[in-house]
């Protein structure tokens, strides 16, 4: 009997678990969670042999020439800059560029090395090199590399685009640890350069890079061209590696992890190589919108702190680590255990692992993580507390084998600090821990981003969302409980396990994984970016997807503080108490629809000099005085991105109405929400103060159109609904903000007001370009 293959708990098990949760066990007595755990007694396999569930399902036999591999992508890692596989002298040009981690439908872990083109690489500058040599060097290098490439018939020919000189710490041993001048050489495929030149002719401002640009560390270059490959924008899609196109590396096991010279880089069950243009990324629709059986590990640690002092890893022991492992989509975890320092009385339905020595406990926990091989690691504040504490504690105790928690062999997990600052999220200081191939999803970070709450303690959050609270154990008595007997440590263990399960409950209740995965799929970024990075990367990724379809290059723009521009109009409110109905009319998705209606985009923006060569009916002038070419001549990327997003949203909403399965309903709702959010953030991106690719003509045109439209709406309504035109009273717009107007029609009944509101909405819509639409919202 194999417990690992079982996705759903047995009917008894899940129904009894449900029952115990529904008994409204607000658990101040500290015993209710024990009852809940006891409900798992029937899970006899796990109970008799608690480690049987740890490994992933075995890999089916694989014949690379006849079998395809299909997996859902989750995480990405870049070779470039880290591994320097493209260094001249080894092999500049084609090579592995990206590591893609994922999970198959059978629940096997996959690492796929994507081979492509190294977009830039570094070489030490020749002695006496200065900027006057750049051009000369470029010529020589181009010829040398090209001839080298031609002699290799499998290679892809390419061109060098730029040479820059910058000071970098030497990567070559013989230079020692000091900064020396390096040349950074940027390359691109010729097929990408040709279409980019074509854009230049129609006035695409940002594509107007010189054929070659070079600079030194003394002078800045105007344009730096960088290209990104498709593989970076797959965002949790299902990836298909067709039969005969990939190569399998021999499987590795944890036990040979310390051998050297073993080919596979990781502990993944399937490790393969494929070229960047030979795999298929399936658009997440229909069959391809399913979610792989991801393994999610939630854990929590307890430390023996001293009185009145926050625990310090150099001094204070880790005394317990509780773990819950669940398959995405299941109701209950299939692994429930707790690692304890010193003995602990048994806990029904759970696996207690006791260790007399702390170092040994940490070592075994590290092995547990590798055996279970989770795809996602979650918990509450794990990134800033639990993980760093464990790593620092293990270092203090000199547990050498501990910090290897990732999937890549011999890659040590380390802690670094980052600050993330944005207007939207404020300033956040975070720690970063590298765990290769596993997505860290810290629930605290997700809540900070998505919800505005008075308190973010696990207790407050659990009560708010689950009407459930933590076990009642005060911080101050943790050390006393640890120093008591196996019964007091048992009480602590129950507390610790509850803190490990609560994040999983919240994850399910708030549909975090589903919603975040949908967002990742819609925008094309890896799951972890959604918590670690801002809004811009999502728009960049969508732009990359779209521009690749049109063979356009996205330029790399240096982020600098830009100018401000005028925003929306707020109609001065007519203050007062209204005892008659007031109708509210709203523009649906105002800013996205303005961009679509008027074809506002980087690729459609015209310069003064372009206007002479165009007929007056081929372009428009926006209220802010900027010019854009019409969609009939050249359709912009942004309008197309927005159309895709909004039509996909409409489809998701239609499917949502038809769907009856509650799980699929959740997925679809998450999807339509993600699509709406993405559409709304495109405008903000073009006006970003410190932006990746700001374009004020677009953003100020959008707001200018918006201001014009709200004024015009007020005017139209107040001119049409008058006594002269046979209405009871003159209508009055009493308030409005950005995309809405509130109209007092002067009628007494709600029904009449609604009727007039609907009529006015469609009347006003008729005065604007499609797809701009004014809707009656409410009375």
What residues make contact with DNA under the rule CB under 7 A?
Answer: 78, 81, 419-425, 452, 533-537, 559, 564-570, 680-681, 683-685, 687-692, 699, 703, 737-740
Query: Closest separation between CB of residue 623 and DNA, Å?
Result: 14
* Of 141, 175, 178, residue with least CA distance to 160: 141
Query: Closest separation between CB of residue 564 and DNA, Å?
Result: 4
* Residue closer to DNA (CB basis): 482 or 547: 547
* Residue closer to DNA (CB basis): 231 or 298: 231
Report the SS3 class of residue 560: coil
* Residue closer to DNA (CB basis): 250 or 419: 419
CA–CA dist 329, 514 (Å, integer): 9
* Residue closer to DNA (CB basis): 60 or 81: 81
Q: What is the DSSP string of 306-355?
A: PTTS---TTTSPEEEEEEEEEETT-SS-SEEEEEEES-----TTSEEEEE
**Helices 662-686, 696-720: crossing angle, 10 deg rounding:** 110
* Of 48, 20, 47, 24, residue with least CA distance to 36: 20
Assign 3-class secondary structure to 474-539: CHHHHHHHHCCCHHHHHHHHHHHHHHHHHHHHHHHHCCHHHHHHHHHHHHCCCCCHHHHCCCHHHH
* Of 362, 715, 745, residue with least CA distance to 569: 715
Query: Closest separation between CB of residue 422 and DNA, Å?
Result: 3
Query: Closest separation between CB of residue 387 and DNA, Å?
Result: 20
Around 96, how many Cα atoms within 13 Å sit in the side-chain half-sphere? 21
The alpha carbon torsion through 663, 664, 665, 669 (nearest 10 deg) reads 110
CA–CA dist 165, 214 (Å, integer): 9
* Residue closer to DNA (CB basis): 45 or 415: 415
* Residue closer to DNA (CB basis): 190 or 573: 573
Per the CB < 8 A criterion, the answer to whether 684 and 535 are in contact is yes
Query: Closest separation between CB of residue 473 and DNA, Å?
Result: 31
CA–CA dist 160, 217 (Å, integer): 19
DSSP 8-state assignment for residue 476: G
Backbone angles phi, psi at 312, to 5 degrees: -120, 130
Neighbours of 638 (CB within 10 A): 27
Query: Closest separation between CB of residue 740 and DNA, Å?
Result: 5
* Residue closer to DNA (CB basis): 169 or 472: 169
Per the CB < 8 A criterion, the answer to whether 649 and 676 are in contact is yes
Query: Closest separation between CB of residue 569 and DNA, Å?
Result: 7
* Residue closer to DNA (CB basis): 293 or 691: 691
* Residue closer to DNA (CB basis): 337 or 765: 765
* Residue closer to DNA (CB basis): 559 or 597: 559
* Of 734, 744, 777, residue with least CA distance to 582: 744
* Of 579, 586, 699, residue with least CA distance to 638: 699
Query: Closest separation between CB of residue 87 and DNA, Å?
Result: 15
Query: Closest separation between CB of residue 429 and DNA, Å?
Result: 12
Beta-bridge partner residues of 250: none
* Residue closer to DNA (CB basis): 80 or 473: 80
Per the CB < 8 A criterion, the answer to whether 78 and 98 are in contact is yes
Query: Closest separation between CB of residue 738 and DNA, Å?
Result: 4
Beta-bridge partner residues of 338: 322, 352
Query: Closest separation between CB of residue 290 and DNA, Å?
Result: 29
Residues, the chain, total?
Answer: 779
- Burial profile 54-86: b = 16 or more Cβ within 10 angstroms, e = fewer: bebeebeeeeeeeeebbbbbbbbbebbeeeebb
Query: Closest separation between CB of residue 572 and DNA, Å?
Result: 8
* Residue closer to DNA (CB basis): 337 or 536: 536
Query: Closest separation between CB of residue 125 and DNA, Å?
Result: 16
- Judging by DSSP bridges, how do beta strands 439-442 and 376-379 pair with one another? parallel
* Residue closer to DNA (CB basis): 690 or 750: 690
* Residue closer to DNA (CB basis): 350 or 542: 542
* Of 52, 41, 49, 150, residue with least CA distance to 93: 150
* Of 241, 235, 3, residue with least CA distance to 107: 3
* Residue closer to DNA (CB basis): 27 or 622: 622
DSSP H helices in 524-570: 529-532, 536-549
* Residue closer to DNA (CB basis): 445 or 692: 692
Query: Closest separation between CB of residue 254 and DNA, Å?
Result: 28
Query: Closest separation between CB of residue 166 and DNA, Å?
Result: 9
Per the CB < 8 A criterion, the answer to whether 138 and 177 are in contact is no
The Cα-based distances of 359 to 352, 362, 366, 555 in angstroms read: 17, 5, 11, 50
Report the SS3 class of residue 682: helix
CA–CA dist 18, 35 (Å, integer): 12
Report the SS3 class of residue 634: coil
Query: Closest separation between CB of residue 565 and DNA, Å?
Result: 5
């Amino acid at each position: 009997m194999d417990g690992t293959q079982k996705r759903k708990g047995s009917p008894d098990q899940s129904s009894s678990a449900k029952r115990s949760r529904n008994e409204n066990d607000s658990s101040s007595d500290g015993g209710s969670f024990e009852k809940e755990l006891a409900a798992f007694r029937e899970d006899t396999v796990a109970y008799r042999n608690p480690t049987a569930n740890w490994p992933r399902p075995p890999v089916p036999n694989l014949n690379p020439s006849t079998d395809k591999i299909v997996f859902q992508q989750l995480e990405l890692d870049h070779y470039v800059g880290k591994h320097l596989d493209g260094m001249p002298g080894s092999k500049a040009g084609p090579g592995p560029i990206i590591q893609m981690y994922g999970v198959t439908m059978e629940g096997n872990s996959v690492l796929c090395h994507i081979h492509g083109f190294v977009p830039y690489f570094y070489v030490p500058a020749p002695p006496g090199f200065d900027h006057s040599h750049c051009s000369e060097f470029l010529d020589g290098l181009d010829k040398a590399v090209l001839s080298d490439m031609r002699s290799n018939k499998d290679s892809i020919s390419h061109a060098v685009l730029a040479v820059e000189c910058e000071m970098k710490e030497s990567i070559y041993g013989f230079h020692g640890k000091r900064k020396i001048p390096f040349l950074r050489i940027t390359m691109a495929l010729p097929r990408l350069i040709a279409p980019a030149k074509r854009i230049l002719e129609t006035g695409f401002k940002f594509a107007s890079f010189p054929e070659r640009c070079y600079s030194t560390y003394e002078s800045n270059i105007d344009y730096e061209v960088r290209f990104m490959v498709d593989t970076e924008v797959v965002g949790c899609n299902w990836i298909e590696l067709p039969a005969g196109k990939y190569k399998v590396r021999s499987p590795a096991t944890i036990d040979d992890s310390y051998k050297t010279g073993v080919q596979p880089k990781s502990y993944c069950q399937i490790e393969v190589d494929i070229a960047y243009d030979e795999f298929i990324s399936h658009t997440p629709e229909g069959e391809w919108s399913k979610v792989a059986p991801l393994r999610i590990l939630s854990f929590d640690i307890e430390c023996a702190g001293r009185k009145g002092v926050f625990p310090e890893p150099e001094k204070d022991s880790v005394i317990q680590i509780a773990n819950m492992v669940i398959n995405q989509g299941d109701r209950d975890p299939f692994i429930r255990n707790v690692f304890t320092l010193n003995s602990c009385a048994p806990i029904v339905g759970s696996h207690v692992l006791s260790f007399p020595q702390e170092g040994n406990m940490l070592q075994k926990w590290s092995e547990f993580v590798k055996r279970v091989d989770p795809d996602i690691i979650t918990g509450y504040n794990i990134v800033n507390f639990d993980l760093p504490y464990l790593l620092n504690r293990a270092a203090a105790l000199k547990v050498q084998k501990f910090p290897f928690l990732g999937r890549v062999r011999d890659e040590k997990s380390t802690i670094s600090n980052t600050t993330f600052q944005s207007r939207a999220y404020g300033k956040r200081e975070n720690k970063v821990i590298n765990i290769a191939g596993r997505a860290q999803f810290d629930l605290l970070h997700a809540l900070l981003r998505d919800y505005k709450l008075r308190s973010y303690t696990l207790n407050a959050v659990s009560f708010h969302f689950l009407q459930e609270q933590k076990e009642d154990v005060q911080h101050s008595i943790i050390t006393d409980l640890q120093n008591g007997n196996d019964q007091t440590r048992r009480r602590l263990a129950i507390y610790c396990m509850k803190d490990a399960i609560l994040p999983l409950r919240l994850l399910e209740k708030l549909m975090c994984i589903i919603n975040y995965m949908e967002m990742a799929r819609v925008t094309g970024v890896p799951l972890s970016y959604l918590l670690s990075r801002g809004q811009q990367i999502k728009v960049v990724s969508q732009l990359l997807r779209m521009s690749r379809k049109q063979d356009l290059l996205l330029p790399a723009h240096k982020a600098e503080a830009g100018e401000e521009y005028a925003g929306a109009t707020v109609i001065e409110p007519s203050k007062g108490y209204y005892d008659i109905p007031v109708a509210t009319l709203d523009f649906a998705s105002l800013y996205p629809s303005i961009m679509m209606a008027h074809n506002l985009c980087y690729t459609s923006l015209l310069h003064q000099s372009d206007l002479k060569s165009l007929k007056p009916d081929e372009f428009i002038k926006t209220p802010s005085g900027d010019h854009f070419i019409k969609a009939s001549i050249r359709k912009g990327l942004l309008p197309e991105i927005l159309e895709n997003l909004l039509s996909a949203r409409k489809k998701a909403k239609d499917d949502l109405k038809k769907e009856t399965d509650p799980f699929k309903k959740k997925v679809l709702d998450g999807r339509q929400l993600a699509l709406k959010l993405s559409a709304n953030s495109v405008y903000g991106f073009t006006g970003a103060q410190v932006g990746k690719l700001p374009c004020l003509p677009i953003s100020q045109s959008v707001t200018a159109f918006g201001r014009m439209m709200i004024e015009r709406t007020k005017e139209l309504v107040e001119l049409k609904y008058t006594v002269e035109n046979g209405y009871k009273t003159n209508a009055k717009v009493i308030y409005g903000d950005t995309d809405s107007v509130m109209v007092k029609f002067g009628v007494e009944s709600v029904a009449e007001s609604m009727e007039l509101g609907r009529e006015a909405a469609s009347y006003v819509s008729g005065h604007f370009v499609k797809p701009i639409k004014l809707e009656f919202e409410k009375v």
